[in-house]
């Protein structure tokens, strides 16, 4: 199940490169992602397609870099919709992004505890 949410090849490569700083990288990603979720909600509340597109783009990139392909894909969908000015499904998509982020967060934290 976790392979569906996290790319273990990407995480292994990050862990190899980051060594002792890997836990800090994970915690930074998680904290930044919390802020990105807030930005997504604010943008949709304001019906600001440009802000929503930028926030989704940023979240997509960090999710992809951290090996969270489903999360990145959902963010890409939101980014594409916002680019086209289609905000009617944004709230529902942000909810799905939030759900997926919760799964990713739990898996990453479990992985950190397993490596301690």
- pLDDT band at 7, cuts 50/70/90? very high
- pLDDT band at 1, cuts 50/70/90? very low
> What is the value of pTM for the model shown?
0.93
For the chain, give the DSSP string: -HHHH--HHHHHHHHHHHGGGHHHHHHHHHHHHHHHHHHHHHHHHTT-HHHHHHHHHHHHHHHHHTT-HHHHHHHHHHHHHHHTT--TTHHHHHHHHHHHHHHHHHHHHHHHHHT-
| Segment 82-110 mean pLDDT | 96
| Segment 7-19 mean pLDDT | 95
Domains and CATH numbers, the chain: 2-114 (1.20.120.160)
pLDDT at residue 80, rounded to an integer:
98
- pLDDT of 116 strictly over 70: no
């Amino acid at each position: 199940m976790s392979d569906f949410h996290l790319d273990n090849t990407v995480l292994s490569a990050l862990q190899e490169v980051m060594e002792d700083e890997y836990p800090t990288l994970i915690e930074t990603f998680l904290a930044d992602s919390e802020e990105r979720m807030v930005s997504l909600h604010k943008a949709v509340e304001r019906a600001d397609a440009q802000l929503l597109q930028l926030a989704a783009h940023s979240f997509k990139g960090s999710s992809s870099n951290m090996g969270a392909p489903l999360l990145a894909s959902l963010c890409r969908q939101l980014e594409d919709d916002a680019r086209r000015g289609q905000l009617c499904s944004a709230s529902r998509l942000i909810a799905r992004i939030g759900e997926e982020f919760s799964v990713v967060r739990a898996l990453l934290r479990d992985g950190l505890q397993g490596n301690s």
